[in-house]
Amino acid sequence: MIETNAPRDPASDPPVGPLVDAAPRPLPARIAHRGGAVTLEPLHARHGAELWRAAQGEAAAESFAYMGYGPFLTEAALATFVAEFAAQHDPLAWAVRPHVSGAAEGWITLMDIQPKNAAIEIGNIWFSPRMQRSRAATEAMYLLMRHAMDDLGYRRLVWKCNALNAPSRRAATRLGFVYEGELRAHLVIKGRRRDTAFFSMLDTEWPERRDAIAAWLDAANWDQDGRPKTSLGRRPV
């Protein structure tokens, strides 16, 4: 056998990903988050009555089209769902209380929580029709995004939705998530095939998006009629 002291060629090594901070990230806690237009409260059975009122009407029933549950036919059915949903640790749910109404008008969660991989998803989002496309709706999402990325230090924030859910896809793009592709025939929801669209945001992308959303939410960006002076469209890359 011939021995050689020739240096190893790094180019011959198999390709691997870059080294990262592999420390597990903390789990999110059941704490409230308050913004300028909305407060997130850890979901509790006591929110049931307010959420039932928010879920009334034809438009509210239609808003559950892409959810894995609902619409709820009785207040008791919704109360049971809320109590069970509130008891889970993953998804971890918050009730959404816009300051303009003072009533709980939806819920939002952090889910598929992977401390070891520093990955976490924002999802299971339901807002009443009155709250949709509002400053409070955007801030509710922003508060949990900021909590996951800034407070807890997660590296990957995920958004996924039914591939046919155009409003959810637009919301992901508007917030600055990057489209990754679709999983075909991924799930069966309410007896129907669901293809799932995946989006993500990395910690390296977050600071720019955080600043853009924060500037859009700032009181200086809103006129006296409650309308934003600028849009929150994603900047071209």
- Rounded distance, CA 155 to CA 182, Å? 21
Q: Which two tokens stand for residue 214?
A: 């924060």
Question: Angle formed by the axes of helices 206-217 and 135-146, to 10°?
Answer: 150
- Rounded distance, CA 68 to CA 156, Å? 24
Q: Measuring CA to CA, which residue among 155, 137, 161 is closest to residue 213?
A: 137
Per the rule left: phi > 0, alpha: psi between -120 and 50, beta: everything else, 221 is: alpha
pLDDT, tens digit, for every residue of 32-82? 999 999 999 999 999 999 999 999 999 999 999 999 999 999 999 999 999
- Rounded distance, CA 50 to CA 105, Å? 7
- Rounded distance, CA 185 to CA 90, Å? 23
Instruction: Determine the pLDDT at residue 237.
Output: 31
- Burial (CB < 10 A; 0-12, 13-18, 19+), residue 119, is middle
What's this model's pTM, rounded to 2 decimal places? 0.92
Instruction: Determine the pLDDT at residue 110.
Output: 98
Instruction: Determine the pLDDT at residue 6.
Output: 63
Q: Which residues, given as ranges, of the chain have pLDDT below 70?
A: 1-6, 8-11, 234-237
DSSP assignment letter at 28: P
- Burial (CB < 10 A; 0-12, 13-18, 19+), residue 132, is middle
Count of positions (residues) in the chain: 237
